[in-house]
């Protein structure tokens, strides 16, 4: 009897050990770091990023995850500050051991975090940053962009301006950092190639409180089109002050896709009416995937998605498709899988160009009318993408 008891004890111990081994062998969740502005002037953009990512993560996890593993999103506030963004990214890579990172809004943050990713042999993707340099002369093998860059937005907007206001005189107002100068440069090149005239430019600091000191220079240039690429709360102040000083009378106001969004349109008010932009997304896109996305987004948050929410939502499906193709979360295997990958988004099918890691997609010109973005023009992806100038990989 004693011998039988001892045998049973040994069997139980072995079973417990095997059970423990099996438990420890189960893969945990896939950790994705999100470094995005949750405070400061770009907070409304960061909120759309978070809403889009959270919605996609809930859907993917409810359907079983990626290769059977759930997604765990870990957020850090970058404050739209590249120095803060690099610290938070380093923490997520080194301490949290995230498998992948996204969320950067400020183009300077994306460029800086890309260097951190290279040092840690990890991949990142932006769903917001516009600066052409990110997938151009400062491209990185570890950085991907799923949203439209400044040159693609400019292609759609310049085509509309050339059709509606040919041979226009354009004045440019941008925020004084990487994205601002890149977007102004891209639209200036696209519009002047079609016959428009550059009549002047100013660059104001990020989070600028008073734009009126620049208005005399704008009036002296006598533009009939003003282009701007300010964003977030800066747009509210610029548009309100232009209305107050009558600067927008007799002028068509156009700009980058991040200038007027569903997040700041309410605060801008009637001053946003008539604003036209080139953009990679509109809630009014007429396809089944977008209709479902918009309905789910409104149900979850009681508001419409903008391009940041849509592109951040699509980003997780891009990563999911790559990991499933690679059958791994290892950096080299996922990078290879991402090259030339096609995946489904609310905008339709996108394809990641392997040469510079820039997503290809159709582009649209949209005009703000009574609080809505109505589509007024379209440029196919092969005409909007522009040349691949990346030489690093």
User: Residue 121 burial (CB < 10 Å; 0-12/13-18/19+)?
Assistant: exposed
Q: Give the class (CATH, top level) of 30-148+283-361.
A: alpha beta
CA atoms within 13 A on the CB side of 177: 19
Least confident of 8-12, 231-235, 274-278, 387-391: 8-12
Q: What are the tokens at 1?
A: 């009897």
Mean of pLDDT values over 243-252:
95
pLDDT-above-70 percentage for the chain: 93
Q: What is the CATH number of domain 151-279?
A: 3.40.50.2300
Full-model pTM = 0.84
Task: State the Cα–Cα distance between residues 393 and 382, nearest whole angstrom.
Answer: 21
Query: Which pLDDT tens digit goes with each residue over 324-335?
Result: 999 999 999 999
CATH 3.40.50.2300 domain residues, the chain? 30-148+283-361, 151-279
Backbone dihedral angles phi then psi of residue 358, each to the nearest 5 degrees: -110, 125
pLDDT-derived band at 382, boundaries 50, 70, 90:
very high
Query: How confident is the model over 2-12, as pLDDT tens digits?
Result: 455 455 555 55
Which pLDDT does position 177 carry in this prediction?
A: 85
Query: Are the C-beta atoms of residues 135 and 107 closer than 8 Å to each other?
Result: no
Can you say whether the dihedral through the CA atoms of 55, 60, 62, 66 is positive or negative?
Answer: negative
CA distance 239 to 251: 13
Are residues 33 and 98 in contact, defined by beta-carbon separation less than 8 angstroms?
Answer: yes
pLDDT for res 178: 81
Contact 337, 325 (CB under 8 A): yes
pLDDT interval class at 26 (50, 70, 90): low
Report angle CA 353, 359, 360 to the nearest 5 degrees: 85
């Amino acid at each position: 009897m004693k011998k039988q008891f001892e045998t049973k004890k040994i069997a139980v111990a072995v079973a417990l050990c095997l059970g423990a081994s099996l438990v420890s062998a189960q893969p945990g969740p896939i950790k994705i770091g999100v470094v995005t502005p949750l405070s400061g002037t770009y907070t409304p953009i960061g909120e759309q990023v978070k809403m889009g990512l959270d919605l996609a993560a809930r859907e993917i996890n409810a359907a079983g995850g990626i290769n059977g593993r759930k997604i765990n999103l870990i957020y850090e506030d970058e404050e739209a500050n590249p120095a803060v963004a690099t610290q938070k990214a380093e923490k997520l890579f080194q301490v949290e051991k995230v498998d992948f990172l996204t969320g950067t809004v400020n183009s300077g943050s994306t460029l800086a975090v890309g260097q951190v990713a290279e040092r840690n042999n990890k991949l990142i993707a932006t769903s917001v940053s516009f600066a052409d340099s990110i997938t151009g002369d400062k491209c990185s093998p570890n950085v991907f962009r799923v949203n439209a860059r400044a040159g693609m937005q400019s292609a759609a907007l310049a085509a509309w301006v050339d059709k509606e206001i040919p041979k226009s005189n354009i004045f440019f107002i941008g925020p004084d950092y990487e994205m601002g100068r890149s977007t102004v440069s891209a639209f200036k090149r696209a519009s002047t190639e079609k016959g428009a005239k550059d009549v002047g430019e100013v660059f104001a600091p990020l989070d600028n409180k008073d734009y009126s000191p620049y208005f005399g220079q704008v009036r002296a240039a006598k533009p009939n089109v003003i282009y701007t690429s300010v964003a977030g709360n800066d747009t509210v102040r610029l548009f309100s002050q232009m209305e107050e000083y009558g600067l927008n009378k007799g002028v068509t106001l156009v700009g980058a896709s991040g200038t007027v969004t569903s997040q700041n349109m309410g605060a801008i008010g009637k001053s946003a009416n008539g604003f036209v932009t080139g953009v990679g997304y509109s809630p009014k896109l007429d396809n089944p995937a977008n209709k479902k996305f918009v309905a789910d987004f409104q149900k979850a948050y009681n508001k419409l998605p903008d391009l940041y929410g849509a592109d951040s939502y699509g980003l997780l499906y891009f990563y999911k498709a790559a990991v499933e193709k690679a059958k791994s979360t290892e950096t080299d295997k996922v990078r290879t899988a991402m090259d030339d990958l096609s995946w489904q988004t609310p905008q339709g099918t996108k394809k990641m160009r392997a040469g510079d890691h820039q997503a290809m997609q159709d582009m649209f010109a949209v005009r703000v009318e009574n609080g809505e973005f109505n589509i007024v023009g379209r440029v196919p992806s092969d005409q909007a993408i522009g040349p691949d100038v990346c030489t690093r990989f």
